[in-house]
Structure 1
Amino acid sequence: MGNLKYFSLLIAAGMFAACSDNLENAGNVNDGPKTGEGYVKVAINLPSVSSSRAFNESGSLDDGTSDEYAVNDAILVFFKTTSSTGDGTPEATAQFAKAYNVSLNPAGEGDDSHVTNRHTVIGEAPLPADGEKVYALAIVNSNGLFSINANTGELSIKTGTGTDKSVFGTTKTLSALQTAIETTAAKCTTTGFMMLNAPLATTNIPTNIIDLTKVQTLVPVTVYENQTLAENGDVASIYVERVVAKVTLTGFTYADSKYTKTVTADSGDPFNGDKVEFEGWTLNYTNKTLKPVRDVNDITTWLGSSYGTVSRFLGTTKVDNKDLYRIYWAEDGNYDVDYGSGVGKSDAKTAFYVFTDPTQISNWNEETADNTTNSDEDHALYCLENTMDYGKQVTNQTTSLILKTKYIANPGATGTGAQNFFMYGTQQETYTQTQFLTNVETALSLSGGTTASLKDGATGGTYTYIPSGETAGSGKYLNKKDVKNLITLSSGDLNDTQAQTLIQKLGEIKFYKDGDSYYNVVLIRHFYDDETPWDAGETYGTKHLGRYGVVRNNWYEIKVNTISGPGEPTIDDDTENPNPDDEEEGYIKCQINVLSWAKRSQGVEL
């Protein structure tokens, strides 16, 4: 993989060791029973340091766009442990104490390239009683999803119905923020990109992480009795990560306000030299739910001996030269769920935003990163984290791209612009409308002046013979249309016998109306082949965990390396009968590299 750089939001004004449990200070301000509010000094910084993978740390880094770094508001959430609850890890035992809004200086302090990188405040925090330790979690850019009761300091979150619900009802620990909520990427990025604490490992040696005591999400803080002490005392560093993943598309030639690519196939291949005009792209199978805090509670399982190259789950570079390392996987809210038809299966459409027809998509992203006219715009799309167990890496659970194009077959011979064309049977070539109708007439042995034509209103898609009384578009005819709705004769509509004969002789027919061609399943990879190697025909096992999926705060760049033929004439619905991700075939090949955020670039061949 290429270079990996997680975005880190540093709450700090010094280099206090965040993994230390020593919360005392020279004035012993934490001694004795105390109630009420204390103070912490908070400097919110956006450092440019990287946390990269060892196998390629010299690649380029990219910080993204300025709006991805904007900080509009922040909440500090405090947890406490006592002598009786302190055994184990703070993430498991610390109890919610109180939440506070943090006032920020909108101008910030200093800058790193095009982004403000520091906001310094003195904020309130609950004073610890004797024997208590205090831990903090930051919520940056809450986007109205989180709110605080001004009287009690209770933290609430917006539910899918828009009502406020207490985060810490009966569950007072961090696990309450690792429960999936219904939301969207748009809601998490409306007024700044929402960010919460990033889980960090205190070692990058897999065999040293035998339990969660080596993983830190909550950060220990020192609480002072007054502002003066806070201004001059120790502070804690909290690194946060964006809760969304970022995807960009590149690989086309941009000129004259148009994106194009020439089809590259083997010499003599009928598709070679065809032209593809890009029209738009979108994401498919994006998660409807989010765990606000990333869930890495199963990291000790991932680091087991049967999981192959287990070092893929841990960063190799220290965060700010501390003994803290990034973790590169997570479990989302539907990690273990099976989708598809059959007993015990769930409907993928209840868990994901799914497009099964082009008419459902009204907001195609019509730009790619190939348009560099604005250096601070990469035309990205964002989605919520979507991960799955190794056996769930199938097309109806994996976030993917849909590309909408105009495919111009034989551009020198068919005139200008995209036109209707057809493919059928096992023939790997395209036919103009005139050629296709001539073949139809020959297949049906038409005589007496009878001719064939396209039926009015015929839409793009795959057509087959469907007997009268049976239903197209589902079951064994999933993604199939009735050929009787594609072809009509001058003597009248096709009857069942004619339709069956036509499909028997030509094979199933793909109709590309006006040249519309969709590349439906550009699956997003997370780990590379050298980390999760897969051989053709191999069944997924533990060593393939993380091969597919999207993880928050990762930037996946999909680079279209080559297009070797047409896509599909419409968007297929594979919610019922998915294929394993690596068995999905098509005319696209991608390449993935990893830059910042982390940024993962993926090349595809279409």
Structure 2
Amino acid sequence: MEFRKLMFAGLALSMMVACSQDDELANGTNGTGTEGDAYMSLSIEMPNTGNTTRAIDESGEKHEGTAEEQKITNLLLLVYNANKGDELQYSHIYNAVDLRPQAPNPGDDKSTIYTITPFQIESGKKKVVVVVNPLDGKFTDKSTLDLMRNEMKLSQDEISKLSTGNHFMMTNANSLANQNQQGEEIADKQDGLSNGDYYQDGSVAVDVQGTKNNPTSVTVSVERVVAKMEDQTANYSIKVNGKEDVVHFEKVALINGNTKFFPIKKIREQGDRTNDYVVDPNFEKQTEETINDFYSNKFENAFNVQNGENIVAKDLSTENRASFYTLENTMIAAEQKNAYTTGLYYRATYELKGKDKGTNIYQYGNTLYDFAGLQEAAKQLGLNLNSLTDESSQAQFYAIGVTKYEKGRCYYTYWIRHIDNQNNTEMGPMEFAVVRNNYYQMEINSVKGIGDYKPIDPNPETPDEEVDSYLDVKVKVLPWIVRKNKIDF
């Protein structure tokens, strides 16, 4: 993945309302209690081109996002004093009307610049954090840098609010930590940083010495803190490979959504830094107990509204493109296992060739039958059905080695890939992962056979690299388009 210039989500011109009154100094929290001896202002550059990311798709295709994914309702600017223990020196919440559009720059990208009225601040070395559409109750104009760089656990309702229409939360797009603007790593995180370089904690360095007429400038990029997954299958009735059987996909749900995150993306400090190894708070800590750090991970009655264990399901008969948003979920290669990996969970009905949809299906060995076919085959196979009938329970059939699919209903799981190492015998770093500000487009490519006969909770001992049941999904990973923010101090 290349995360050197990540996005500042789009700013629709319709929401940028210019004010006619005279500009006044922005009111904010100045920790010194004085107006300060230097000036800074915030300007935002919205380029119309994006970057590529090293993931499954290498085509360079990008997606700017929907209007609801792009809109800025409010923006929290936090400035910390790097020379005084990272104490909060200035903060201010800007609304959409505070962002003033200017004419596009000349050139092919036709970038638009948005500015904010200059304000005074104490001079010196600062750390800058920008939070777009901050989550209520979690981020305020008193938020410390420790809050921004340490792990945070959220409820499922709070996670949902991070990706609410017109209110997608975004924070600093930390690239390789301690790098300068040329991408060169800087050994000492406190010294040698130029304006726009990243500190280890993901904040952006700036030395504020500007005057009212010549403010210091620095560029800050921000990105959405959630990943997007979308099923784009065109036809949900798919023939089984090599057969005339048909699988009718009916519902899909997000499974194993992470509940913890770092407000600013954290990059692993050790190892091969060229991999941009993204860290989440469960990093290198996966155990059976940490299954509780994920929501939607209990599949019994998964698609029952009353007993769904927090699983949000989408109806494929009514959803044109079933979309989900969730926190990023990454881990070291050895811990990429079914109980921890984010995926899509499908409910379907399997229809045998020549039989009505909704007919009970029975599997014995590798062969599928309706009940009449099972009775006939049992005579040849020496299978004793005793007094079992087509109305007998799944448990009764299972006891004699037969799997019953009630009305043909079955379940499929797909574990989302971020990077494919093209080696099914070796687990690659971040191969099975979802990363913030990435857009995962899934399409059911083929079906090799019938799925599970009932919802089965994922096994924390099963590696993701094992062959995915009987479902082949084509996945494409795109970056949401880059939005670069220029902050002038």
Structure 2 CA distance for partners of 1:203 and 1:454, relative to 1, 3 Å: farther
- What amino acid does structure 2 have at the position aligned with 1:72? T
Q: Deviations over 1:465-523 (max 9, x none)?
A: xxxxxxxxxxxxxxxxx32xx59xxxxxxxxxxx5xxx2xxx3x222112212102x11
Q: Deviations over 1:214-273 (max 9, x none)?
A: 7443223465898xx26x6343221101000000112332xxxxx3222223xxxxxx12
Instruction: State yes or no: 1:220 paired with 2:200.
Output: no
Instruction: State yes or no: 1:386 paired with 2:329.
Output: yes
Equivalence for 1:523 = 415
Equivalence for 2:24 = none
Equivalence for 2:404 = 511
> How far is the alpha carbon of 1:141 from its aligned partner?
0.7
Structure 2 CA distance for partners of 1:453 and 1:9, relative to 1, 3 Å: closer
Q: Deviations over 1:441-482 (max 9, x none)?
A: 885657xxx8431446x4xxxx5xxxxxxxxxxxxxxxxxx3
Equivalence for 2:240 = 263
Q: Structure 1 length as normaliser, TM-score?
A: 0.63
Cα distance in 1 between the residues matched to 2:78 and 2:3: 32
Structure 2 CA distance for partners of 1:34 and 1:145, relative to 1, 3 Å: closer
Equivalence for 1:236 = 218
- What amino acid does structure 2 have at the position aligned with 1:236? V
Instruction: State yes or no: 1:105 paired with 2:45.
Output: no
Cα distance in 2 between the residues matched to 1:222 and 1:551: 31
Instruction: State yes or no: 1:569 paired with 2:461.
Output: no
Cα distance in 1 between the residues matched to 2:456 and 2:406: 15
Structure 2 CA distance for partners of 1:334 and 1:545, relative to 1, 3 Å: same
Structure 2 CA distance for partners of 1:80 and 1:548, relative to 1, 3 Å: same
Q: Secondary structure at the match of 1:581?
A: coil
- What amino acid does structure 2 have at the position aligned with 1:286? G
Cα distance in 2 between the residues matched to 1:398 and 1:54: 20
Instruction: State yes or no: 1:430 paired with 2:368.
Output: yes
Question: Which of residues 141, 146, 163 in structure 2 aligns to 1:189?
Answer: 163
> How far is the alpha carbon of 1:200 from its aligned partner?
2.5
Q: 1:41 touches 1:123 (CA, 8 Å); kept in 2?
A: yes
Instruction: State yes or no: 1:80 paired with 2:106.
Output: no
Instruction: State yes or no: 1:414 paired with 2:361.
Output: no
Q: 2:7 touches 2:173 (CA, 8 Å); kept in 1?
A: no
Equivalence for 1:158 = none
Cα distance in 2 between the residues matched to 1:294 and 1:369: 35
- What amino acid does structure 2 have at the position aligned with 1:525? R
Q: 1:34 touches 1:127 (CA, 8 Å); kept in 2?
A: no
Equivalence for 2:21 = none
Q: Secondary structure at the match of 2:278?
A: coil
1:171-190 correspondence to structure 2 within 5 Å: 173-174=145-146, 176-184=148-156, 185-190=159-164
> How far is the alpha carbon of 1:53 from its aligned partner?
4.7
> How far is the alpha carbon of 1:574 from its aligned partner?
2.5
**Identity of matched residues, %:** 21
Q: 1:7 touches 1:597 (CA, 8 Å); kept in 2?
A: yes
Cα distance in 1 between the residues matched to 2:330 and 2:390: 44
Q: Deviations over 1:168-213 (max 9, x none)?
A: 3xxxx45753322324431212251100001124479999576767
Q: Secondary structure at the match of 2:407?
A: helix
Structure 2 CA distance for partners of 1:108 and 1:452, relative to 1, 3 Å: farther
Equivalence for 2:429 = 545
> How far is the alpha carbon of 1:338 from its aligned partner?
2.5
1:176-575 correspondence to structure 2 within 5 Å: 176-184=148-156, 185-190=159-164, 191-201=166-176, 202=179, 215-216=198-199, 217-221=202-206, 229=212, 233-253=215-235, 259-265=236-242, 272-296=243-267, 298-303=268-273, 311=274, 313=275, 328-340=276-288, 346-357=289-300, 358=302, 359=304, 360-361=307-308, 363-367=312-316, 371=320, 378-410=321-353, 413-415=354-356, 417-424=357-364, 426-427=365-366, 429-437=367-375, 443=382, 451-455=387-391, 458=393, 482-483=395-396, 499=399, 503=400, 507=401, 509-520=402-413, 522-529=414-421, 534-536=423-425, 538=426, 540=427, 544-575=428-459
- What amino acid does structure 1 have at the position aligned with 2:362? F
- What amino acid does structure 2 have at the position aligned with 1:240? V
> How far is the alpha carbon of 1:69 from its aligned partner?
0.3
Structure 2 CA distance for partners of 1:154 and 1:347, relative to 1, 3 Å: closer
- What amino acid does structure 2 have at the position aligned with 1:154? K
Structure 2 CA distance for partners of 1:347 and 1:10, relative to 1, 3 Å: closer
Cα distance in 2 between the residues matched to 1:7 and 1:205: 18
Equivalence for 2:136 = 144
Q: Deviations over 1:110-153 (max 9, x none)?
A: 899xxx9764322656423xxx31221111011314453xxxx5
- What amino acid does structure 2 have at the position aligned with 1:43? S
Higher Cα Rg, which structure: 1
- The runs of 5 or more residues in structure 2 that have no matched partner are 12-31, 105-110, 483-489
Q: Which has the higher contact order (CA 8 A, sep 6+)?
A: 2
Q: 1:369 touches 1:379 (CA, 8 Å); kept in 2?
A: no
Q: Secondary structure at the match of 1:138?
A: strand
Instruction: State yes or no: 1:597 paired with 2:489.
Output: no
> How far is the alpha carbon of 1:50 from its aligned partner?
2.1
Cα distance in 2 between the residues matched to 1:286 and 1:279: 21
Structure 2 CA distance for partners of 1:368 and 1:389, relative to 1, 3 Å: farther
CA RMSD, 1 decimal? 3.8
Structure 2 CA distance for partners of 1:247 and 1:409, relative to 1, 3 Å: same
Structure 2 CA distance for partners of 1:3 and 1:390, relative to 1, 3 Å: closer
Structure 2 CA distance for partners of 1:63 and 1:451, relative to 1, 3 Å: same
Cα distance in 2 between the residues matched to 1:4 and 1:252: 35
Q: 1:211 touches 1:300 (CA, 8 Å); kept in 2?
A: no
Structure 2 CA distance for partners of 1:124 and 1:301, relative to 1, 3 Å: farther
Q: 1:3 touches 1:596 (CA, 8 Å); kept in 2?
A: no
Q: Secondary structure at the match of 1:334?
A: coil
Q: Structure 2 length as normaliser, TM-score?
A: 0.76
- What amino acid does structure 1 have at the position aligned with 2:423? W
Structure 2 CA distance for partners of 1:585 and 1:278, relative to 1, 3 Å: closer
Q: Deviations over 1:81-106 (max 9, x none)?
A: 22xx6xxxxxxx64433422123318
Cα distance in 2 between the residues matched to 1:144 and 1:419: 50
> How far is the alpha carbon of 1:5 from its aligned partner?
8.8
Q: 2:52 touches 2:62 (CA, 8 Å); kept in 1?
A: no
> How far is the alpha carbon of 1:3 from its aligned partner?
13
> How far is the alpha carbon of 1:7 from its aligned partner?
2.8
- What amino acid does structure 1 have at the position aligned with 2:241? T
Cα distance in 2 between the residues matched to 1:421 and 1:433: 7
